[in-house]
């Protein structure tokens, strides 16, 4: 029986020095140990690792394979910045497609061959972002200089090209964040024409972006749950895809609440700040139920701002931030320490049919 290996780009090697069941089977076949010893060794290691094993509740996430990932990412960033800066000064319209081509070429080596995590993420974002910018540059080069209709058409075209770029990249490299990048591009295609059409139909002066963004966020969350439901053990690429989708969905859902409460326009009132805190607490309960800390982290900035405004009340900003950091930090530390226990208690109240589609609590 061959050792199981993750198939996505940066997890293609089994760690050296780890003895697996396949190794023990080979030892039995070679006469080094007998079958009874093999079974006792397996039971011993399973009991030894039961309390420290990385299971679904740990929400595995691999961004670095070594410090070399950081080194290579810095080098790639400098190279792409230099090429983009120099090309934009000479032939601006060629800068985005050139960056896309370079990003793809570098991915052929660092993603497909070297299987490096962080550089793969950066190159994917560079490729999709450059494809998005290509449509803008071809349409006129600057959204500020375009008429409203032209800007809308260019943005929709950019979103469509971003979706196509994400699809091509996924077919070739299968980097988990690619699906989230494509979902973000798809959201732009839905939001822009949808809000413009709805604003025209309702005779509004400003397009209703917020409800459309929230709906797209719910759609991204549903897609993330679809991937999660097909990998309850969190052992395949689907789990990593779902992680990035959850990371994208949370701010898309909470930002419309944040903006509708008036927090983006200045110091909020008591009710507005409490509304954000309440939404964040509901998001925390949801994160516990589906076992995804990414939801809590990606919406953290909003609740920090709300609590700081709630505590500050026009007073000393530094003191308010200190108290806010203490409250949030204490809350997250206690939550992280009791995650398994709290989640186990929460799942008791989840309907059995729905609970069967969620990772089981291990604590």
Q: What pLDDT does residue 9 have?
A: 47
pLDDT at position 246 over 90 = yes
Q: Mind listing the pLDDT tens digit for each residue in 274-297?
A: 888 888 899 899 999 999 988 888
Rounded-to-integer distance, Cα 257 and Cα 263, Å: 9
Task: Supply the pLDDT for residue 4.
Answer: 41
Indicate if the pLDDT at residue 57 is higher than 70: no
Q: Which two tokens stand for residue 222?
A: 């549903």
Output the pLDDT for position 175.
92
Residue with more model confidence, 353 or 318 = 353
Q: Which of 159-163, 262-266, 298-302 has the lowest mean pLDDT?
A: 262-266
Which residues, including other chains, have CB under 8 Å from residue 5's CB and lie 6 or more apart?
11, 12, 13, 14
Alpha helices (H) in 140-269, listed in sequence order: 148-173, 177-201, 209-229, 237-260
Residue 249, pLDDT above cutoff 70: yes
Task: Specify the pLDDT at position 15.
Answer: 43
Please report which confidence band the pLDDT of residue 263 belongs to, taking 50, 70 and 90 as the band edges.
low
- pLDDT recorded at residue 322: 81
Closest listed residue to residue 177, CA positions, set 259, 237, 135: 237
Block residue for tokens 């993603």: 111
Q: What is the pLDDT of residue 78?
A: 97
What is the structure's pLDDT at 274? 81
Asked whether 253 and 217 are in contact (CB, 8 A), the reply is yes
Q: Domain extents for the chain?
A: 1-53, 62-207
Average pLDDT, the chain: 80
With a cut of 90, say whether residue 130 has pLDDT above it: yes
Of 35-39, 61-65, 117-121, 192-196, which has the strongest mean pLDDT? 117-121
Alpha-carbon torsion (100, 102, 103, 108), positive or negative: positive
Q: Is the pLDDT of residue 323 over 70?
A: yes
pLDDT in tens, 104-115: 999 999 998 888
* pTM for the full predicted model: 0.78
pLDDT digits (tens, 9 = 90+) for 139-159: 655 545 444 566 677 778 888
Q: How far apart are CA 146 and CA 154, in angstroms?
A: 9
Rank 9-18, 36-45, 236-245 by mean pLDDT and report only the highest: 236-245
pLDDT band, very low/low/confident/very high, at 24 (cuts 50, 70, 90)? confident
Task: Report how far residue 103's alpha carbon sits from residue 126's, in angstroms, rounded to the nearest whole number.
Answer: 6
Q: What's the pLDDT score for residue 201?
A: 45
What's the mean pLDDT in 330-351? 91
Planar angle of CA 29, 33, 35, nearest 5 degrees: 70
Mean predicted confidence (pLDDT) in 83-99? 93
CA–CA distance, 354 with 179 (Å, rounded to integer): 25
- Which pLDDT score, from 0 to 100, does residue 220 have? 95
pLDDT for the residue numbered 101 = 96
% the chain with pLDDT above 70: 75
Whether residue 198 is predicted with pLDDT greater than 60 in this model: the reply is no
């Amino acid at each position: 029986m061959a050792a199981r290996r993750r198939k996505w780009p940066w997890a293609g090697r089994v760690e050296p020095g780890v003895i697996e069941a396949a190794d023990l089977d080979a030892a039995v076949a070679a006469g080094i140990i007998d079958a009874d010893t093999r079974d006792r060794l397996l039971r011993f290691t399973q009991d030894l690792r039961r309390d420290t094993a990385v299971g679904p509740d740990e929400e595995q996430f691999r961004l670095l394979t070594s410090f070399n990932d950081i080194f290579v990412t810095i080098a790639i960033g400098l190279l792409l910045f230099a090429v983009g800066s120099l090309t934009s000064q000479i032939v601006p319209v060629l800068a985005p497609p050139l960056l896309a081509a370079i990003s793809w070429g570098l991915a052929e080596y660092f993603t497909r061959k070297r299987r490096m995590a962080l550089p793969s993420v950066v190159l994917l974002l560079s490729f999709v972002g450059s494809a998005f910018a290509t449509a803008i540059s071809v349409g006129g080069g600057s959204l500020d200089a375009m008429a409203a209709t032209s800007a809308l058409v260019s943005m929709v075209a950019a979103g469509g090209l971003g979706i196509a770029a994400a699809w091509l990249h996924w077919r070739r490299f299968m980097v988990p964040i690619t699906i989230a990048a494509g979902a973000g591009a798809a959201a732009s295609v839905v939001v822009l024409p949808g809000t413009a059409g709805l604003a025209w139909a309702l005779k509004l002066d400003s397009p209703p972006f917020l409800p459309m963004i929230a709906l797209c966020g719910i759609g991204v969350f549903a897609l993330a749950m679809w991937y999660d439901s097909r990998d309850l053990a969190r052992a395949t690429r689907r789990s990593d895809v779902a992680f990035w989708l959850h990371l994208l969905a949370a701010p898309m859902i909470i930002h419309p609440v944040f903006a509708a409460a008036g927090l983006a326009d200045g110091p909020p009132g008591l009710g507005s700040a409490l509304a954000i805190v309440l939404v964040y607490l509901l998001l925390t309960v949801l994160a516990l139920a589906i076992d995804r800390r990414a939801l809590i982290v990606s919406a953290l900035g909003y609740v920090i701002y709300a609590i700081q405004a709630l505590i500050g009340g026009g007073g000393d900003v530094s003191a308010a931030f200190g108290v806010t950091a203490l409250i949030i930090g204490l809350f997250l530390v206690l939550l992280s320490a009791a995650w398994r226990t709290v989640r186990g208690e929460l799942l008791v109240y989840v309907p059995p049919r729905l609970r069967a589609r969620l990772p089981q609590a291990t604590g």
